[in-house]
Each structure stands twice: as C-alpha cells, then as structure tokens.
Amino acid sequence: MNAWPIVILVTTLAVISPGADFAMVTRTSLMQSRRAGLWVALGIGCGVLVHVGYTLLGLGVLLQQLPWLFTALKWAGAAYLVWLGISLWRGARSIQTDGEQGPPIAGNGDALGKAQRASGGSYFSLGFLTNALNPKTALFIISLFMQVAGPGVSLPTQLAYGLFIAAAHVLWFALVAYFFSAPVLQPRVQAIRPWVDRSLGCVLMGLGVLLIGTSAPQLL
C-alpha cells in the first residue's frame, strides 16, 4: 500500500496547526529579521529529525511502554515553554524601561541580541529546542509511523517519510518567516513590541501548561 498520500495529508495538517513552533517563528521574524526567522525554521526541522530518529531506532516504543519517560519529556518541554514565556514578559518590561531592542528569549535577556544576529546559532537552538522538547511532536511522529511504517516498509522508505516531515516543517515555517518579516509589518509591530511580547509570552506559558495534560502514546 502506498502510504505517501496519508503522510502528506497528515503532515500538512499537523504543520500548519498553530503551536509553540509557530509562535517562535512569528515572534522572531517580527521582532528581529527574516534571516533570524529562517534560522528558527531550520532549527525546528532538525528538531523533527530527533523525533524521527528515535522512532526509527525503536525508542518510540520505549516511550509508549514507559510512561514515566514520556512524562519526563512532557515536563521538560512544558518547563522550557514556560521559561520562554516568562523571558518574553521580562524582556517586554525592560524594553519599556530603557528601550533596549535585543531579543529577550535566549536566557540572558537583551545582551544576546548582537551575538544572535551575528551567528544565527542561538536562533537555530531556539527552534531546535522548541520542537525537540515538544511532546506533541513526539506523539505526532510516533502515531504516524505506527500507522504507515509497518514491518513490510523498508528503512529507506521510512527515512524518506521522516525527511519529508522535517522538510515540510522547514518549508512552512520559512514561509511564515517571510510573511511576518515583511517591511510593511515590522515598523508597526515594533511600536507595540512590549504588548506583542507579553501576548506571545502568555501564549507560550499557556501552551506549556496545556502540555501537562498531554497523554502518552498508546500501542495499537
């Protein structure tokens, strides 16, 4: 059976669904630059490959059979999102106070702005960790592979599925970065930047709390 139509359809629906990845690409593209948003998109794609990798190695079954392991991933992802949300709130307050313009999302406040713009590495890490620590992505990858990657499916085909899923994430979030980094949007958003950061901070903290209720994947 050709499972590609299922993989393409389910992946497309999953990728365009709003979540933490979308929030981070949107915020970075609006507040920093198109280049920064593209780095986050690339990091997200590599984060997807982490989930694909352990699923192909059979560790996805381990997550299913050891609920405490999935719970650990869930709490780590939730804590990371809440930390990012709090960082955005703190950064918004400092912007209102002294007008600093660096990104308040990498752990050391605005001081990392120049380093991030110079290398792109911090933006890549932001996207990578946001996705790699997201148990919802883990659920999606494991569930999809349980449906389409049975014993009769060759390893090259499974690898192709995984690469497609990662590429679809990069492509979609690259488009998001291009849209939200449009010159017509950035000046207007910069004028209300503290409120945008507070709003996205609330979204990230809310997503972190919602992750706590995520159920572990079940064997079919």
pLDDT higher than 90, residue 128: yes
Percent of the chain exceeding pLDDT 90 equals 34
Structure tokens at 139: 């659920």
Report pLDDT for 41: 97
DSSP character string of 6-42: HHHHHHHHHHHS-SHHHHHHHHHHHHT-HHHHHHHHH
> Could you give phi then psi for residue 155, rounded to 5 degrees?
-60, -45
pLDDT higher than 60, residue 174: yes
- Residues 169 and 15 sit within 8 Å (Cβ to Cβ): yes
Which domain covers residue 51, as residue numbers?
A: 3-92+120-213
> Could you give phi then psi for residue 185, rounded to 5 degrees?
-90, -40
- Residues 201 and 88 sit within 8 Å (Cβ to Cβ): yes
Q: Determine, yes or no, domain membership for 104.
A: no
Count CA atoms closer than 13 A to 153's CA, side-chain side.
17
Structure tokens at 43: 């990091």
Q: Determine, yes or no, domain membership for 113.
A: no
Distance CA 68, CA 200 (A): 30
Report pLDDT for 114: 45
Q: Which of 41-55, 66-80, 119-133, 153-167 shows the lowest per-residue confidence on average (mean pLDDT)?
A: 66-80
Report pLDDT for 113: 44
Highest mean pLDDT among 64-78, 123-137, 143-157: 123-137
- How sure is the predictor about 160, in pLDDT bands with cuts at 50, 70 and 90? very high
Q: Determine, yes or no, domain membership for 103.
A: no
Report pLDDT for 206: 85
Q: Determine, yes or no, domain membership for 130.
A: yes
Q: Which of 2-11, 55-64, 105-114, 173-182 shows the lowest per-residue confidence on average (mean pLDDT)?
A: 105-114
pLDDT mean across residues, the chain? 80
pLDDT higher than 50, residue 193: yes
Q: Determine, yes or no, domain membership for 107.
A: no
Report pLDDT for 110: 45
Q: Determine, yes or no, domain membership for 102.
A: no
Q: Determine, yes or no, domain membership for 115.
A: no
Number of domains in the chain: 1
Q: Determine, yes or no, domain membership for 108.
A: no
